Amino acid sequence: MTDKPIYTLSNMTLIGLVIVTAVTFFSWYYRKYRNVPPGPLGLPFVGYGPFLTSDPPAKLLKLKKRYGKVMSMSFGPQLTIVLNDYEAVKEAFIKQGDLFTGRPSTFMLDLLVEKFRDGRPHGIGALEGNEWKQTRRFILQTLRNLGMGKNAIENRILEEAEHLSVIFRENVGKPFNATDALHAAAGNVVSTLCFGQRFDYDDEQFNAILHQLRTFALLLAQAGPLQSYPMSRFIPGPLARTYAMWIAMKKKLADFITTQMENICCVRKDGKESVVPSFVDSFWDEQERLKATGNQHAERGKIFQDLDLQMNVQDLFGAGTETTATTLNWAFLFLLHNPDIQARVHKEIDDQVGREQAITFEDRSRLPYVEAVCRETQRMGNVVPFGLMRCNMEETELLGYRIPDRCYVMVNYKAVNMDPTLWAEPEKFRPERFISSEGQLEEPPYFMPFAIGKRSCVGESLARMEIFLFFANIRQRFELKPAKGQTLPPVNKYETGISSRPVSFEMDIRQRN
């Protein structure tokens, strides 16, 4: 009896397929990952996301000790480059600024900016290339026309500071959590810019929208499960419920913006001018100009569709509210932990301005320590821990490493803000680090709370004015102490999403006579 051959034709075919598949895979893997920055491997098909814990900035800071100032990791199938050092950030966003202006396509972001509706993203936060440049130019010019950096917007902020002071005054002697009031104040400033109107602090719909914006900020975390693994929304359980909740909130936010736009539209149809000019008015004026010149279907016309208006308003509303309110909340917590610094703030205000009149933006030159407290709050609070993720538009080299085209690129700003080679005793709250030997405010180039480069925050000057005016006027009028019988949360504990928020706390408000 003859033995059967060990290798049949079918076996040989199978072995050949395995070899070809293996060679193809390793060839693809080599081409993609050749000479990329080092980093942790994570899990197959899942990546490193599950290992980032509840404090991703601190985790990435620890990984810097092993992998260096620039490293790579995968979130799901996507290669992500982490800039873990000021030199790496400067090299990417300044020296190669044009190349790193891309915005990556992620599931939750694409859903938020309505990319799935017509195949293109909408709104300044998600655009790139020439569409982004034109949109940014239009928004900056419009905000300037509406008074950003001028007396017009300063008066709106000061008016809102009065409303905020009323809320503080009503809560004198009571345990008070300022989170909702701060978000309402910041939200109203943006609302007057976008819609030409403000809302009462007890307006239920307005407060519901502000709450949804805060939830959005958590769910849009760079390495969140739904971002990296969108198929998880189909698995019954917490992620599926979270996704359903997110979709419902997204619709409510869209309905809110649509309602405000319809109100402005009704005024315009009646042939009247809005009582307070708004971003919506300016956008529609540009739409009409494009139609009058026959350019509504040209390249520029693409970014002036109604859907683009809604997404731009959504971006301005979300970013302009969350970061400002969170910064102020951090400022209150830091000063509750540092009563000596609070006393110095009060003294500078009393000596330089007094308590009889509201503090204006012009007063900031006389209040360098007050401004320094705001800057130190931004540094230690690390309010926007990763910024908005970017991508490189084409393959490049960064600090000796190859960066394949269209990688996700994120900055760990905690690594910069807590770098002992840049900041003396970085773990301590020391506003004087922003005061020069001549007693004037100074900012080093590695202080970048609004990011740097060509995709830095479009509303930076507005945010700086808001933070200073709200903080200074509240501090002028009130003394804040820890709520009786309660323990203040530590300043090194926070919730991390798009923003880093302090743990919820209450304070005891006292009127300064």
**Vertex 225 angle, CA 219 and 230, to 5°:** 100
Q: What is the pLDDT of residue 184?
A: 97
pLDDT of 21 over the 70 cut = no
Query: How far from the centroid of its chain's Cα atoms is residue 401's Cα?
Result: 28
Place of tokens 């975390």: 221
Range scoring the smallest mean pLDDT among 92-96, 189-193, 270-274, 401-405: 270-274
Is-contact 213 253, C-beta < 8 A?
Answer: yes
- How much of the chain, in percent, has pLDDT values that exceed 70? 93
Q: How far apart are CA 150 and CA 37, in angstroms?
A: 45
Question: Of all helices (H) and strands (E), which one includes residue 480?
Answer: strand 478-482
Query: 106: closest CA among 410, 376, 398?
Result: 410
Rounded Cα distance, 246 and 253, in Å: 10
Name 228's Cβ contacts closer than 8 Å, sequence gap at least 6.
Answer: 47, 49, 75, 76, 78
Query: What fold, for 127-381+454-511?
Result: Cytochrome p450 (1.10.630)
CB 243 within 8 A of CB 249: no
| Mean pLDDT score, 202-227 | 79
d(CA 98, CA 396): 12
The pLDDT confidence band at residue 408, using thresholds 50, 70 and 90, is very high
pLDDT, one tens digit per residue, over 426-473 is 999 999 999 999 999 999 999 999 999 999 999 999 999 999 999 999
Q: Does pLDDT of 198 surpass 60?
A: yes
Helix axes 238-269, 204-219, angle to 10 degrees: 130
Residue 25's pLDDT is: 54
pLDDT number for residue 273: 67
Cα–Cα dist 380/368, whole Å: 18
Classify the C-alpha dihedral 181-185-187-191 as positive or negative: positive
Q: What is the pLDDT of residue 212?
A: 84
Neighbours of 312 (CB within 10 A): 25
Residue 362: the pLDDT is 95
Please state the pTM of the whole predicted model.
Answer: 0.91
Q: How far apart are CA 481 and CA 173, in angstroms?
A: 10
pLDDT tops 70 at residue 95: yes
- Residue 500's identity, in one-letter code, is S
- Residue 354 to residue 357: CA distance in whole angstroms: 7
Tell me the mean pLDDT in the region 16-28: 62
State what percent of residues in the chain have pLDDT above 90: 69
Residue 378 contacts by C-beta under 8 Å, 6 or more apart in sequence?
327, 447, 449
Mean pLDDT of 195-214: 92
Residue type, 30: Y
Q: Got the DSSP string for 308-355? A: HHHHHHHHHHHHHHHHHHHHHHHHHHHHHH-HHHHHHHHHHHHHHT-S
According to the model, what pLDDT value does residue 274 have? 63
- Tokens found for residue 442: 């100074």
Instruction: Dump pLDDT digits (tens) for 117-173.
Output: 999 999 999 999 999 999 999 999 999 998 877 788 999 999 999 999 999 999 999
Check residue 7 and give left, alpha or beta (phi > 0: left; psi -120 to 50: alpha).
Answer: beta
- pLDDT bracket for residue 93 (50, 70, 90): very high
Query: Using 50, 70 and 90 to split pLDDT, how confident is the model at 228?
Result: confident
pLDDT of 220 reads 66
CA 370 – CA 361 distance, rounded (Å): 12
Residue 503: pLDDT above 90?
yes
pLDDT at 2 over 60: no
Q: Measure the CA–CA gap between 169 and 171, rounded to whole angstroms.
A: 5
**CA-derived radius of gyration, the chain:** 26
Q: What is the pLDDT of residues 250-285, one digit of tens each?
A: 899 999 999 999 999 988 887 766 667 899 999 999
Q: CB–CB of 476/342 below 8 Å?
A: no
CB atoms within 10 A of CB 77: 10
Q: What are phi and psi of 200, to 5 degrees?
A: -65, 150
First to last CA, the chain: 111
Q: Which of 115, 107, 371 is nearest to 228 (CA)?
A: 107
Residues forming beta bridges with residue 79, ordered by sequence position: 74
Q: Bridge-partner residues for 420, per DSSP?
A: none
CA distance 106 to 296: 29
Long-range CB contact pairs, 288-296, < 8 A, 24+? none
**Given this model, what pLDDT does residue 513 score?**
72
Per residue in 348-387, pLDDT (tens digit) is 999 999 999 999 999 999 999 999 999 999 999 999 999 8
pLDDT score recorded for residue 44: 82
| 277-328: pLDDT as tens digits | 899 999 999 999 999 988 777 778 889 999 999 999 999 988 899 999 999 9
38-50 pLDDT tens trace? 999 888 878 888 8
What mean pLDDT is predicted for residues 495-499?
A: 83
Q: What is the mean pLDDT of the chain?
A: 90
